[in-house]
Structure 1
Amino acid sequence: MVVSGRGDAHKRLCSSKFFKSWVSHPQKGQHCPSLLNLCIHAATQDILQYHTFSELPPDLTQQIFNNLLFSGRLTLPSLQAFRHCTLQDIYLGEYDADVVDDSWMDIVSSQGSSLLHLDLSASQLTDYGLSYLQQGLTNLTSLSFGRNHAISAEGMSALSGLVNLVNLNLERCPGIHGGLVHLQGLTKLESLNLKWCNCIIDVDMKPLSELTNLKSLEISSSKVTDIGIRFLKGLQNLALLNLEGCFVTAACLDTLAELSLLDLRLTKESFKQQVNIVIDCFLPELPALSNLNISRCNFTNNGCEMFSRLTKLKSLNLDSCRIDDDGLVHLAGHQQLKCLELSDTEIGSSGLQHLSGMYSLEKLNVSFTMISDSGLSELCGLSSLKSLNLDARRVTDYGLATLASLSGLTDLDLFGVQITDFGTNYLKNFKSLQSLEICGGGLTDDGVKNIKNLSSLMFLNLSQNSNLTDTALHLISGLTSLVSLNVSNSRITRDGLQHLKTLHKLRSLSMESCEVTTNDIKELKSKYLPNLLSFRPEE
C-alpha cells in the first residue's frame, strides 16, 4: 500500500488503536498527542502494510525510520518501505549485528545523494555490500563500519568516490592493510579513526600524507613506528593524534640532536634551510596539534624534550610511559594545557613542581604514581582544576588538606588513598563535587557525615570500606541527585535499603559482598527506583 494523500493518512490514523485508546480513555493531565506523533505511531504499528513511504515528506519518513530503529523493530521486510525515500541519516551501528548484512545495502544505497550519515558498525557487511556505496551516495559526509572483520583492502576501493566524506570510522577492521590508498582523493576528510587496526603498518600511513584537511587521526594499537609518523609531516591542520600503544619512540630527537654537529661556517640562510629540512620531517612542527595521546608507548625522559616544540598542546596523555620527575621539566612552559594524564608513570612528589604554573589545567590524573602528601602543595594554585585523580597509596588525610583551595573541583578520585574519617572534614571545601571515590578502606559511618551535604554529587563510590553500615545509607539519603552509588564490600544489609527510597534518579547501584540479594534490589527498584538500570549483585 502506498501512503499518498492526507485524507487516507488521516483515515488510517483515526482508526489506529493508539488514537482510539487515547479518545476513549484519556489519562488525567495527559496532553493530546500531536498529529505528527499519531502519524508516526500508526505507521510503525502497521509497517508491513505499507509498500512505500516515498511520497511522504522526508522529515516525516526519517522519524518513522528512527522510531522503528530505536524500538528494535526495523527488519529487512520493513526496510523495503523506505526505498528511494531520501533519508539523510541511517544509524545501524550496533543494531542487531547478526541481521544487518549486504542484503540491506540495496535499500540504503537507494537514498542516493540525500544520504549524509551512514553507520554500519559491527554489521555483517562484506566487500560486496560495500560496493553499493558507489551507487550515487555522492553527498555522504559521515561513514562508519568499525568492528567489521569481513571488509578487505580491495573492498575499500568503494570509498574512493565518496569525495565529500568528512568523517570515516574504520575502528577494529583487521583486514584493511593496503586499503588506505583508496582514501587519497578524499581531500575533505577531517576525522579518521583507525583504532585497534593491528594490521596497519608504516606503509599504510603514506596515502594519508595527501589528506591535508585532516584534523583528527587515531591509530592507537596499530603497528605504526617512527617511520610511519614521518608521513604526517604535511598534515598542518592535525589537532588530535592518538598513538596509544603504537611502536613509536622519541627516535626523531636523535636526528634533531645532529643539528649541533652542523658545520658552523654555514651561512645563516643555508643553516636555516638545513634546519627546516630536518625539522619538517618530524611531528614536533605540527602547528595545530592540540591533543596528543602517546600512552603505553616507549617514551622515556629523553623523549620528553619534544614537548617544548608542541606549544599548542591542550591535552596530553602519557599514561604508562617510562618517564619520571626529570621528564616533567619539559612540560613546565605549557600554559595552554587543559588535560594531563600521568597515571602509571614513575613520577614522584618533586616532579609536581613543574605543573605549578599550569593555570589552565582542568583535568589531572596522577594515579598509580609515587607522589605523596609533600608534593600536593604544588597543585594548590591550579584554580581551574575540575578533575583530579589521586589514586596513590602514599597520599593521606594531610595531603587532602593541602588541596582545600581547589574549590572548583567537580570530580575527585581518591580510590586507593589512605583517607580516614578525619580526612573527610576537608571534603566540605569541595561543594561543587559531582563525582567522588573514596575506597581506601579507612571510612566509617562518621566519615560519611561529611559527605552527606555535598548536594551536587551524582556519582559516589564508597566501596571497600568494610566498616560502613546501614547508617551510611541513611546519611546519604538526602543526596537526591545521585545516579550511581557503589557501597560494595561493606556491612550494609537489606534493612538499609529503605534509606535509598528517596534516590529516584539512581540508575546504577552496586552492593556486592553485602548482606543484600538480587531480589532485595529488584523489589526496591519496582517500588521506588524506576530509573535503576544496572545493579549488583545480579542473578
Structure 2
Amino acid sequence: MRSLRALCLISAALVLGCAAPSGAAQDDSARIAASIETAGGSVVRDRTGHIVDVSLARTWATDADVERVAAIKTVRRLDLSLTYASDRGVERLKALDRLEELNLSSAEFITDAAIAFLRGHRQLRTLNLRGTDVTDTSLSYVAELPQLQSLDISFTQISDVGLEHLASLARLEELNLGGNKISGVGLHVLKLLPKLKKLSFYGIQRRNAGWCWAPVVTDLELETISLLSGLEELNIGLGVALGAPRPDDLGPADSEAECRIAGGTRVTDLGLAKLASLEKLRRLDLSGSSITASGLKSLTAFRNLQRLSLWNVKAIDDSVGSSLEALTNLTSLDLSNTPVGDETLRRVARLPHLRRLYVSETNVTAQSVDALKKQHPAIMVSWAARSAPRVPLSPGSKHER
C-alpha cells in the first residue's frame, strides 16, 4: 500500500509539474499578443485559446518583433507584409514548426538568404514574396517546399532560369508572376503543374535606367497555358506592346523619366481561340489586349465564366454584345475604356446573374445608365465620363474676364 501511495504522489507531482510550464507559456503568449496589438497588429485564437494567426502587416515591425512572435509555437499563419523584417528575422521563424502561411509582401529587406531559412518549413502551403528582393536562387529553395499550394513571386528579380525550379511543386494551385522579366522560354514549366487553378501575369515593375519589367505573353504563350485544363482564373496582364513606352492609361510614372517596357503582352483573336479548351475558367482578365469583337466570339466556350475584364480593349464595339449576352453566368463585367455604347449596355443588362458592371470612359450615355439602374436595381453600375480638358486662359481670349 505504501508503495502504491508513493507512486500516486509521484504521479501527481509529475502532472502538476507539467501543468505549470503550460500556464507560464499561456501568460507569455498573452503578453506577446498584447504587445502585437499595441503595435497595431492582430492575433486570432483557435477554440482552445491558442494563437494561430498573427498579423503585423503595415506596422513596420522589425526583427525584434518577429523574434517575439517566434516564441508563440502554435502560430500557423503569419503576415509580415510591409514591415522592416529582414533575413535575420525570418531565421527566427525556424521555431514555428506549424507554420502554413507566410506573407512577406513588400518586406523590402528580404533577400535570398531569408528564403534559405524557410526550407525547413516543409508544411508551408502559402508563400507571398511579392515586392521582395529575391532572385532565381530563392526559387531553388522554394522548390523544397512540397506542400506549397500558393506562390506569389511578382515584382521580384526572378527570370526564366528560376522558373525551372517550379517543376517540383506538384501541388501548386495559385501562381502570380506579374512584374517580372520572364518570357515564353520559362513558361513551359507550367505544363508540369497539373493542379494549377489561378495564374496571373498582371503588373509592370519599374527598374533603374528607365526600364520597366513585364512578363512576355503572346499568342504562343497562350498555347502553353491552354494545356492547363484545371485553370479557373487567368489574368494575362496589361496589354502593352513589346518594348513600348509606358502607356498613358497607367497614369503618371513614379518620377519624371518615363520607362520602356522590357516585355509586355500582345494577345490577339488567335490566342484567345486557343484558350477555348479551358472549360473550367471562372475569371478571365484580357485588359488591354488586341482582341476584336469577332475574336470575342470564342468566349462562348467559357460556360462557367463569372468575371470578365475587357478594360482598355480598343478594338471592340457594340457588335460584341451578342457574344457577351451568351455568357449567362457572368456576375462581373468590366468594359471600361472601350468604344462600346448603349446597345451593348442593353444586351448585357439581360444577363441573369450580373451584379457589377463597369462602363466608365465608354460611349455609354447617362440616360442609358439611369434606365438600367431603374430596371435592374440589383446591378451595381460604375460609370463616369472624363471631363473635357480646361481651355487655358490667354490674353484676348473669349474666356478672359
Could you say if the C-alpha distance between residues 346 and 291 of structure 1 is closer, same or farther in structure 2, counting changes exceeding 3 Å?
Answer: same
What is residue 172 of structure 2 aligned with on the other side? 289
Offset at residue 176 of structure 1 (A): 3.5
Amino acid at match of 1:450: R
What is residue 284 of structure 2 aligned with on the other side? 388
Amino acid at match of 2:358: N
How many residues align? The count is 327
Partners of 2:143 and 2:277 in 1: CA distance = 37
Partners of 2:371 and 2:342 in 1: CA distance = 10
Structure 1 gaps of 5+ residues are 1-108, 131-136, 257-281, 349-367, 490-511, 515-539
What is residue 316 of structure 1 aligned with on the other side? 199
1:460 aligns with 2:343: no
Q: Is the CA contact 2:86–2:114 (under 8 Å) kept in the aligned structure 1?
A: no
1:400 aligns with 2:293: no
Partners of 2:226 and 2:322 in 1: CA distance = 32
1:301 aligns with 2:164: no
Partners of 2:367 and 2:35 in 1: CA distance = 48
What is residue 145 of structure 1 aligned with on the other side? 56
TM-score, normalised relative to structure 2: 0.70
Partners of 2:276 and 2:189 in 1: CA distance = 27
- The within-5 A match list for 1:342-353 is 342-344=236-238
Offset at residue 369 of structure 1 (A): 3.7
What is residue 437 of structure 1 aligned with on the other side? 334
Offset at residue 113 of structure 1 (A): 8.3
Q: Is the CA contact 1:249–1:298 (under 8 Å) kept in the aligned structure 2?
A: yes
1:336 aligns with 2:230: yes
Could you say if the C-alpha distance between residues 289 and 347 of structure 1 is closer, same or farther in structure 2, counting changes exceeding 3 Å?
Answer: farther
Amino acid at match of 1:216: T
- The within-5 A match list for 1:175-190 is 175-190=85-100
Partners of 1:119 and 1:289 in 2: CA distance = 36
Identity of aligned residues (%): 22
1:222 aligns with 2:132: yes
What is residue 421 of structure 1 aligned with on the other side? 318
Could you say if the C-alpha distance between residues 173 and 311 of structure 1 is closer, same or farther in structure 2, counting changes exceeding 3 Å?
Answer: same
CA deviation vs aligned residue, 1:104-135 (integer Å, no higher than 9, x gap): xxxxx9984897x96988x7629xx99xxxxx
Could you say if the C-alpha distance between residues 335 and 461 of structure 1 is closer, same or farther in structure 2, counting changes exceeding 3 Å?
Answer: closer
Partners of 1:488 and 1:182 in 2: CA distance = 50
CA deviation vs aligned residue, 1:112-169 (integer Å, no higher than 9, x gap): 4897x96988x7629xx99xxxxxx9932111111122x3223432223211111111
- The within-5 A match list for 1:82-101 is none
Offset at residue 188 of structure 1 (A): 0.6
Amino acid at match of 1:204: A
Higher radius of gyration, 1 or 2: 1
Aligned with 2:39 (options 119, 125, 139): 125
Amino acid at match of 1:180: V
Amino acid at match of 2:230: Q
CA deviation vs aligned residue, 1:202-231 (integer Å, no higher than 9, x gap): 111222111121111111111111223333
- The within-5 A match list for 1:246-257 is 246-252=156-162
Structure 2 gaps of 5+ residues are 1-23, 43-47, 203-213, 243-263, 389-401
Q: Is the CA contact 1:113–1:138 (under 8 Å) kept in the aligned structure 2?
A: no
Could you say if the C-alpha distance between residues 423 and 292 of structure 1 is closer, same or farther in structure 2, counting changes exceeding 3 Å?
Answer: closer
Partners of 2:29 and 2:63 in 1: CA distance = 27
Which moved further from structure 2: 295-304 or 209-218?
295-304
What is residue 378 of structure 1 aligned with on the other side? 274
Q: Is the CA contact 2:122–2:146 (under 8 Å) kept in the aligned structure 1?
A: yes
What is residue 52 of structure 1 aligned with on the other side? none
Offset at residue 249 of structure 1 (A): 1.7
Partners of 1:300 and 1:152 in 2: CA distance = 36
Partners of 2:197 and 2:238 in 1: CA distance = 20
Amino acid at match of 1:397: A
Could you say if the C-alpha distance between residues 154 and 337 of structure 1 is closer, same or farther in structure 2, counting changes exceeding 3 Å?
Answer: same
Partners of 2:146 and 2:267 in 1: CA distance = 37
Partners of 1:191 and 1:218 in 2: CA distance = 9
Q: Is the CA contact 1:456–1:481 (under 8 Å) kept in the aligned structure 2?
A: no
TM-score, normalised relative to structure 1: 0.53
Amino acid at match of 1:480: P
CA deviation vs aligned residue, 1:382-416 (integer Å, no higher than 9, x gap): 43333233334633332233433434332222222
Partners of 1:119 and 1:146 in 2: CA distance = 16
Partners of 2:383 and 2:184 in 1: CA distance = 40
Partners of 2:289 and 2:141 in 1: CA distance = 43
CA deviation vs aligned residue, 1:233-289 (integer Å, no higher than 9, x gap): 432211112111111123358xx8xxxxxxxxxxxxxxxxxxxxxxxxx44213322
Alpha-carbon RMSD across the aligned residues, in angstroms, is 3.6
Could you say if the C-alpha distance between residues 296 and 110 of structure 1 is closer, same or farther in structure 2, counting changes exceeding 3 Å?
Answer: same
Partners of 2:52 and 2:346 in 1: CA distance = 53
Could you say if the C-alpha distance between residues 330 and 120 of structure 1 is closer, same or farther in structure 2, counting changes exceeding 3 Å?
Answer: farther
Could you say if the C-alpha distance between residues 459 and 201 of structure 1 is closer, same or farther in structure 2, counting changes exceeding 3 Å?
Answer: same
Could you say if the C-alpha distance between residues 233 and 470 of structure 1 is closer, same or farther in structure 2, counting changes exceeding 3 Å?
Answer: closer
Could you say if the C-alpha distance between residues 199 and 211 of structure 1 is closer, same or farther in structure 2, counting changes exceeding 3 Å?
Answer: same
Q: Which has the higher contact order (CA 8 A, sep 6+)?
A: 2
Q: When you count strand as a share of all residues, which structure comes out higher? A: 2
Partners of 1:392 and 1:203 in 2: CA distance = 37
